[in-house]
Protein backbone atom coordinates (compact mmCIF):
# COMPACT_ATOMS: atom_id res chain seq x y z
CA UNK A 1 0.00 0.00 0.00
CA UNK A 2 2.79 2.39 0.95
CA UNK A 3 4.73 1.55 -2.23
CA UNK A 4 1.63 2.27 -4.30
CA UNK A 5 1.22 5.61 -2.53
CA UNK A 6 4.86 6.46 -3.23
CA UNK A 7 4.41 5.59 -6.91
CA UNK A 8 1.28 7.74 -7.21
CA UNK A 9 2.93 10.72 -5.54
CA UNK A 10 6.16 10.34 -7.54
CA UNK A 11 4.27 10.02 -10.84
CA UNK A 12 2.16 13.10 -10.09
CA UNK A 13 5.19 15.10 -9.05
CA UNK A 14 7.26 14.09 -12.09
CA UNK A 15 4.37 14.95 -14.40
CA UNK A 16 4.05 18.35 -12.75
CA UNK A 17 7.82 18.96 -13.03
CA UNK A 18 7.77 17.87 -16.68
CA UNK A 19 4.93 20.24 -17.55
CA UNK A 20 6.62 23.02 -15.59
CA UNK A 21 9.94 22.37 -17.35
CA UNK A 22 8.30 22.54 -20.77
CA UNK A 23 6.54 25.77 -19.80
CA UNK A 24 9.79 27.27 -18.48
CA UNK A 25 11.63 26.34 -21.68
CA UNK A 26 8.89 27.99 -23.75
CA UNK A 27 9.18 31.18 -21.70
CA UNK A 28 12.97 31.14 -21.94
CA UNK A 29 12.79 30.50 -25.69
CA UNK A 30 10.42 33.45 -26.23
CA UNK A 31 12.65 35.71 -24.14
CA UNK A 32 15.77 34.46 -25.96
CA UNK A 33 14.20 35.04 -29.38
CA UNK A 34 13.28 38.63 -28.44
CA UNK A 35 16.69 39.38 -26.98
CA UNK A 36 18.54 37.80 -29.88
CA UNK A 37 16.46 39.71 -32.43
CA UNK A 38 17.05 42.98 -30.59
CA UNK A 39 20.81 42.30 -30.69
CA UNK A 40 20.53 41.45 -34.40
CA UNK A 41 18.79 44.77 -35.11
CA UNK A 42 21.42 46.64 -33.09
CA UNK A 43 24.15 44.90 -35.11
CA UNK A 44 22.54 45.92 -38.41
CA UNK A 45 22.19 49.55 -37.29
CA UNK A 46 25.76 49.73 -36.07
CA UNK A 47 27.07 48.48 -39.44
CA UNK A 48 24.76 50.80 -41.41
CA UNK A 49 26.03 53.76 -39.35
CA UNK A 50 29.63 52.65 -39.92
CA UNK A 51 29.18 52.38 -43.71
CA UNK A 52 27.42 55.75 -43.80
CA UNK A 53 30.00 57.56 -41.67
CA UNK A 54 32.98 56.10 -43.57
CA UNK A 55 31.37 56.61 -46.98
CA UNK A 56 32.20 53.04 -47.98
CA UNK A 57 31.28 51.82 -51.43
CA UNK A 58 28.48 49.30 -51.29
CA UNK A 59 30.14 46.58 -53.34
CA UNK A 60 29.81 42.82 -53.42
CA UNK A 61 33.33 42.62 -51.99
CA UNK A 62 32.34 44.69 -48.94
CA UNK A 63 29.21 42.56 -48.49
CA UNK A 64 31.33 39.40 -48.62
CA UNK A 65 33.87 40.75 -46.08
CA UNK A 66 31.11 41.82 -43.68
CA UNK A 67 29.45 38.41 -44.04
CA UNK A 68 32.71 36.72 -43.01
CA UNK A 69 33.20 39.05 -40.05
CA UNK A 70 29.62 39.06 -38.76
CA UNK A 71 28.77 35.43 -39.51
CA UNK A 72 25.52 36.38 -41.27
CA UNK A 73 24.53 37.06 -44.89
CA UNK A 74 24.96 40.73 -45.87
CA UNK A 75 23.18 42.34 -48.83
CA UNK A 76 23.00 45.96 -50.00
CA UNK A 77 19.36 45.86 -50.96
CA UNK A 78 16.05 45.22 -49.28
CA UNK A 79 15.42 41.49 -48.80
CA UNK A 80 12.86 39.42 -46.92
CA UNK A 81 13.58 36.19 -45.03
CA UNK A 82 13.32 33.25 -47.43
CA UNK A 83 11.30 31.14 -44.95
CA UNK A 84 10.17 30.95 -41.31
CA UNK A 85 13.45 29.42 -40.21
CA UNK A 86 15.30 32.62 -41.14
CA UNK A 87 14.96 36.29 -40.22
CA UNK A 88 16.07 39.50 -41.93
CA UNK A 89 16.73 43.06 -40.77
CA UNK A 90 16.87 45.95 -43.24
CA UNK A 91 18.33 49.32 -42.22
CA UNK A 92 18.39 52.34 -44.61
CA UNK A 93 21.90 53.68 -45.22
CA UNK A 94 20.76 56.60 -47.36
CA UNK A 95 17.82 57.29 -49.66
CA UNK A 96 17.58 54.43 -52.13
CA UNK A 97 20.28 52.34 -50.42
CA UNK A 98 19.68 49.71 -47.73
CA UNK A 99 21.70 47.26 -45.67
CA UNK A 100 20.07 43.86 -45.08
CA UNK A 101 21.35 41.19 -42.73
CA UNK A 102 19.92 37.66 -42.99
CA UNK A 103 20.48 34.71 -40.63
CA UNK A 104 18.89 31.50 -39.40
CA UNK A 105 16.64 31.93 -36.39
CA UNK A 106 18.13 30.75 -33.05
CA UNK A 107 17.21 27.11 -32.46
CA UNK A 108 15.94 25.41 -29.31
CA UNK A 109 19.19 23.44 -29.16
CA UNK A 110 21.18 26.67 -28.99
CA UNK A 111 18.93 27.88 -26.19
CA UNK A 112 19.35 24.68 -24.17
CA UNK A 113 23.13 24.84 -24.49
CA UNK A 114 23.33 28.36 -23.07
CA UNK A 115 24.74 28.44 -19.50
CA UNK A 116 21.94 30.73 -18.32
CA UNK A 117 19.33 28.22 -19.52
CA UNK A 118 21.09 25.33 -17.81
CA UNK A 119 21.31 27.36 -14.59
CA UNK A 120 17.62 28.35 -14.76
CA UNK A 121 16.47 24.74 -15.30
CA UNK A 122 18.74 23.46 -12.52
CA UNK A 123 17.38 26.08 -10.11
CA UNK A 124 13.80 25.19 -11.12
CA UNK A 125 14.35 21.46 -10.51
CA UNK A 126 16.16 22.06 -7.23
CA UNK A 127 13.35 24.33 -6.02
CA UNK A 128 10.61 21.83 -6.82
CA UNK A 129 12.47 18.84 -5.42
CA UNK A 130 13.04 20.79 -2.20
CA UNK A 131 9.36 21.75 -2.14
CA UNK A 132 8.35 18.14 -2.75
CA UNK A 133 10.56 16.99 0.11
CA UNK A 134 9.05 19.62 2.40
CA UNK A 135 5.44 18.78 1.45
CA UNK A 136 5.45 15.06 0.68
CA UNK A 137 7.43 13.98 3.74
CA UNK A 138 4.90 15.41 6.26
CA UNK A 139 2.08 14.04 4.12
CA UNK A 140 3.50 10.52 4.20
CA UNK A 141 4.16 10.90 7.92
CA UNK A 142 0.52 11.91 8.44
CA UNK A 143 -0.62 8.93 6.36
CA UNK A 144 1.51 6.61 8.44
CA UNK A 145 0.13 8.03 11.68
CA UNK A 146 -3.40 7.72 10.34
CA UNK A 147 -2.76 4.06 9.55
CA UNK A 148 -1.20 3.50 12.97
CA UNK A 149 -4.14 5.27 14.58
CA UNK A 150 -6.60 2.96 12.89
CA UNK A 151 -4.60 -0.09 13.94
CA UNK A 152 -4.26 1.24 17.50
CA UNK A 153 -7.99 1.86 17.84
CA UNK A 154 -8.79 -1.61 16.56
CA UNK A 155 -6.21 -3.19 18.87
CA UNK A 156 -7.51 -1.28 21.87
CA UNK A 157 -11.07 -2.50 21.41
CA UNK A 158 -9.87 -6.07 20.87
CA UNK A 159 -7.51 -6.14 23.86
CA UNK A 160 -9.37 -4.27 26.58
CA UNK A 161 -12.08 -6.88 27.13
CA UNK A 162 -9.59 -9.77 27.62
CA UNK A 163 -7.56 -7.58 29.99
CA UNK A 164 -10.63 -6.92 32.13
CA UNK A 165 -11.32 -10.64 32.28
CA UNK A 166 -7.70 -11.43 33.22
CA UNK A 167 -7.73 -8.84 36.01
CA UNK A 168 -11.04 -10.14 37.37
CA UNK A 169 -9.81 -13.74 37.57
CA UNK A 170 -6.50 -12.63 39.07
CA UNK A 171 -8.37 -10.85 41.85
CA UNK A 172 -10.33 -14.04 42.52
CA UNK A 173 -7.01 -15.93 42.84
CA UNK A 174 -5.47 -13.45 45.29
CA UNK A 175 -6.60 -15.34 48.39
CA UNK A 176 -5.31 -18.75 47.34
CA UNK A 177 -2.27 -17.69 45.26
CA UNK A 178 -1.40 -14.08 46.13
CA UNK A 179 2.03 -14.00 44.43
CA UNK A 180 0.80 -15.45 41.15
CA UNK A 181 -2.23 -13.20 41.18
CA UNK A 182 -0.04 -10.13 41.75
CA UNK A 183 2.11 -11.05 38.73
CA UNK A 184 -0.98 -11.46 36.57
CA UNK A 185 -2.37 -8.10 37.71
CA UNK A 186 0.97 -6.36 37.05
CA UNK A 187 1.31 -7.87 33.56
CA UNK A 188 -2.29 -6.97 32.72
CA UNK A 189 -1.56 -3.41 33.84
CA UNK A 190 1.46 -3.29 31.54
CA UNK A 191 -0.62 -4.45 28.60
CA UNK A 192 -3.31 -1.91 29.41
CA UNK A 193 -0.69 0.83 29.66
CA UNK A 194 0.62 -0.09 26.21
CA UNK A 195 -2.91 0.02 24.82
CA UNK A 196 -3.42 3.46 26.39
CA UNK A 197 -0.27 4.74 24.70
CA UNK A 198 -1.44 3.53 21.32
CA UNK A 199 -4.83 5.12 21.95
CA UNK A 200 -3.11 8.41 22.78
CA UNK A 201 -1.32 8.28 19.44
CA UNK A 202 -4.56 7.43 17.66
CA UNK A 203 -6.64 10.13 19.37
CA UNK A 204 -4.48 12.65 21.25
CA UNK A 205 -6.79 14.60 23.54
CA UNK A 206 -6.08 17.85 25.40
CA UNK A 207 -5.16 17.38 29.09
CA UNK A 208 -8.03 17.16 31.57
CA UNK A 209 -6.41 19.18 34.32
CA UNK A 210 -7.07 19.02 38.04
CA UNK A 211 -5.17 19.82 41.22
CA UNK A 212 -2.29 17.32 41.48
CA UNK A 213 0.32 16.71 44.21
CA UNK A 214 3.41 16.04 42.10
CA UNK A 215 5.27 14.03 44.75
CA UNK A 216 2.28 11.70 45.26
CA UNK A 217 2.03 11.10 41.52
CA UNK A 218 5.75 10.29 41.31
CA UNK A 219 5.54 7.98 44.33
CA UNK A 220 2.68 6.08 42.72
CA UNK A 221 4.70 5.63 39.51
CA UNK A 222 7.71 4.41 41.51
CA UNK A 223 5.55 1.89 43.38
CA UNK A 224 4.12 0.54 40.12
CA UNK A 225 7.65 0.11 38.77
CA UNK A 226 8.97 -1.47 41.99
CA UNK A 227 8.59 -5.14 40.88
CA UNK A 228 10.44 -4.49 37.60
CA UNK A 229 13.13 -2.45 39.39
CA UNK A 230 13.63 -5.17 42.02
CA UNK A 231 13.91 -7.84 39.34
CA UNK A 232 16.60 -5.81 37.50
CA UNK A 233 18.41 -4.85 40.70
CA UNK A 234 17.72 -1.14 40.21
CA UNK A 235 17.44 1.14 43.22
CA UNK A 236 14.97 4.01 42.77
CA UNK A 237 15.47 7.06 44.98
CA UNK A 238 12.75 9.72 45.04
CA UNK A 239 13.40 13.22 46.36
CA UNK A 240 10.31 15.39 45.82
CA UNK A 241 8.76 18.46 47.37
CA UNK A 242 5.45 17.34 48.90
CA UNK A 243 4.18 20.89 49.04
CA UNK A 244 4.33 21.30 45.29
CA UNK A 245 0.94 21.19 43.55
CA UNK A 246 0.08 21.88 39.95
CA UNK A 247 -2.79 21.81 37.49
CA UNK A 248 -2.30 18.77 35.30
CA UNK A 249 -3.87 15.63 33.88
CA UNK A 250 -2.78 13.07 36.50
CA UNK A 251 -3.44 10.08 34.21
CA UNK A 252 -1.36 11.52 31.38
CA UNK A 253 1.49 12.64 33.65
CA UNK A 254 1.55 9.18 35.24
CA UNK A 255 2.01 7.82 31.76
CA UNK A 256 4.97 10.15 31.21
CA UNK A 257 6.64 9.14 34.49
CA UNK A 258 5.89 5.47 33.84
CA UNK A 259 7.52 5.58 30.40
CA UNK A 260 10.65 7.35 31.63
CA UNK A 261 11.10 5.13 34.71
CA UNK A 262 10.67 1.89 32.76
CA UNK A 263 13.07 3.11 30.06
CA UNK A 264 15.67 3.72 32.78
CA UNK A 265 15.10 0.28 34.34
CA UNK A 266 15.42 -1.42 30.95
CA UNK A 267 18.67 0.47 30.34
CA UNK A 268 20.15 -1.10 33.52
CA UNK A 269 19.42 -4.85 33.23
CA UNK A 270 22.38 -5.66 35.50
CA UNK A 271 21.42 -3.24 38.22
CA UNK A 272 21.98 0.43 38.90
CA UNK A 273 20.45 3.49 40.45
CA UNK A 274 17.70 5.84 39.30
CA UNK A 275 17.51 9.18 41.12
CA UNK A 276 14.28 11.14 40.71
CA UNK A 277 14.33 14.75 41.87
CA UNK A 278 11.32 17.11 41.74
CA UNK A 279 11.80 20.81 42.54
CA UNK A 280 10.03 23.95 41.31
CA UNK A 281 8.08 22.24 38.54
CA UNK A 282 11.14 20.43 37.15
CA UNK A 283 11.49 16.65 37.47
CA UNK A 284 14.86 15.07 36.73
CA UNK A 285 15.37 11.35 36.14
CA UNK A 286 19.08 10.45 36.30
CA UNK A 287 20.25 6.85 35.98
CA UNK A 288 23.61 5.07 36.06
CA UNK A 289 23.11 3.18 32.81
CA UNK A 290 25.12 3.55 29.59
CA UNK A 291 23.41 6.82 28.65
CA UNK A 292 22.00 7.89 25.29
CA UNK A 293 23.91 7.13 22.10
CA UNK A 294 24.71 9.90 19.65
CA UNK A 295 21.86 8.77 17.39
CA UNK A 296 19.42 8.62 20.31
CA UNK A 297 20.34 12.14 21.45
CA UNK A 298 19.51 13.39 17.97
CA UNK A 299 16.38 11.31 17.32
CA UNK A 300 14.91 10.43 20.73
CA UNK A 301 11.61 12.26 20.03
CA UNK A 302 11.04 10.58 16.66
CA UNK A 303 8.09 8.26 16.40
CA UNK A 304 9.08 4.57 16.06
CA UNK A 305 12.79 5.22 16.69
CA UNK A 306 14.26 2.74 19.15
CA UNK A 307 17.65 1.15 19.73
CA UNK A 308 16.29 -1.42 22.17
CA UNK A 309 15.78 -4.94 20.92
CA UNK A 310 12.03 -5.39 20.53
CA UNK A 311 11.41 -1.71 21.33
CA UNK A 312 8.66 0.11 19.44
CA UNK A 313 9.96 3.65 19.90
CA UNK A 314 6.80 5.23 21.24
CA UNK A 315 7.57 5.78 24.94
CA UNK A 316 9.54 9.02 24.85
CA UNK A 317 7.59 10.25 21.84
CA UNK A 318 4.30 9.92 23.74
CA UNK A 319 5.87 11.44 26.87
CA UNK A 320 7.15 14.43 24.90
CA UNK A 321 3.73 15.03 23.34
CA UNK A 322 1.97 14.86 26.71
CA UNK A 323 4.46 17.25 28.35
CA UNK A 324 4.16 19.66 25.42
CA UNK A 325 0.34 19.51 25.69
CA UNK A 326 0.77 20.68 29.29
CA UNK A 327 2.79 23.66 28.07
CA UNK A 328 6.00 22.09 29.33
CA UNK A 329 9.24 20.78 27.87
CA UNK A 330 10.98 17.41 27.89
CA UNK A 331 14.71 17.16 27.20
CA UNK A 332 17.35 14.43 27.33
CA UNK A 333 21.11 14.45 27.93
CA UNK A 334 23.97 12.43 29.36
CA UNK A 335 25.73 12.94 32.67
CA UNK A 336 29.46 13.74 32.47
CA UNK A 337 30.26 10.67 34.56
CA UNK A 338 27.91 8.44 32.53
CA UNK A 339 24.23 7.70 32.60
CA UNK A 340 21.16 9.23 31.01
CA UNK A 341 19.22 12.25 32.23
CA UNK A 342 15.61 12.99 31.29
CA UNK A 343 14.27 16.35 32.45
CA UNK A 344 10.59 17.29 32.50
CA UNK A 345 9.73 20.97 33.01
CA UNK A 346 6.11 21.81 33.78
Closest CA to 183 of 222, 231, 221: 231
CB 261 within 8 Å of CB 222: yes
**pLDDT 10s digit of each residue in the chain, 346 long?**
455 656 776 777 788 888 888 888 888 888 888 998 999 999 999 999 999 888 888 898 998 999 999 999 999 988 888 888 899 999 999 888 899 999 998 888 888 888 888 888 888 888 877 877 776 666 666 666 666 666 666 566 556 666 666 766 666 666 666 666 666 666 666 666 666 666 665 566 677 888 989 999 999 889 888 888 888 899 999 998 888 888 888 888 888 898 899 889 988 988 999 999 998 889 999 999 988 888 888 877 776 666 666 555 667 878 888 888 888 999 999 988 888 999 999 8
CB 212 within 8 Å of CB 245: yes
H/E run at residue 74:
strand 73-75
What's the CA dihedral at 107, 112, 115, 118 to 10 degrees?
160
Q: Is the domain defined by 207-345 classed in CATH 3.30.2290.10?
A: no
Whole-structure pTM value: 0.50
Instruction: Phi first, then psi: give them for residue 344, nearest 5 degrees.
Output: -115, 125
Whole-angstrom distance, CA of residue 302 vs CA of residue 313 = 8
CB 274 within 8 Å of CB 229: yes
CB 322 within 8 Å of CB 253: yes
Alpha helices in 55-114 (DSSP H): 60-70, 108-113
Whole-angstrom distance, CA of residue 312 vs CA of residue 330 = 19
What's the CA dihedral at 286, 249, 318, 140 to 10 degrees?
-150
The domain limits of the chain are 2-113, 141-199, 207-345
Amino acid sequence: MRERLWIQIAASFLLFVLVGTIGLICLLDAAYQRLSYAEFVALARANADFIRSEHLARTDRLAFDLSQILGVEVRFDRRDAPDNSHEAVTIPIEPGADLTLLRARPTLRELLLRPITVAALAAFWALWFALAWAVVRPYLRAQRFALLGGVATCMAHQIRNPIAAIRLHAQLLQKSQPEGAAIIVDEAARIEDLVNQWMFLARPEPPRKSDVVLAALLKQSVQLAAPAAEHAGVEIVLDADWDQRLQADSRRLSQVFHNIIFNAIQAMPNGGRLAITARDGAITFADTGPGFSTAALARWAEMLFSEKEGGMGIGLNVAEQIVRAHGGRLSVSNQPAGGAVVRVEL
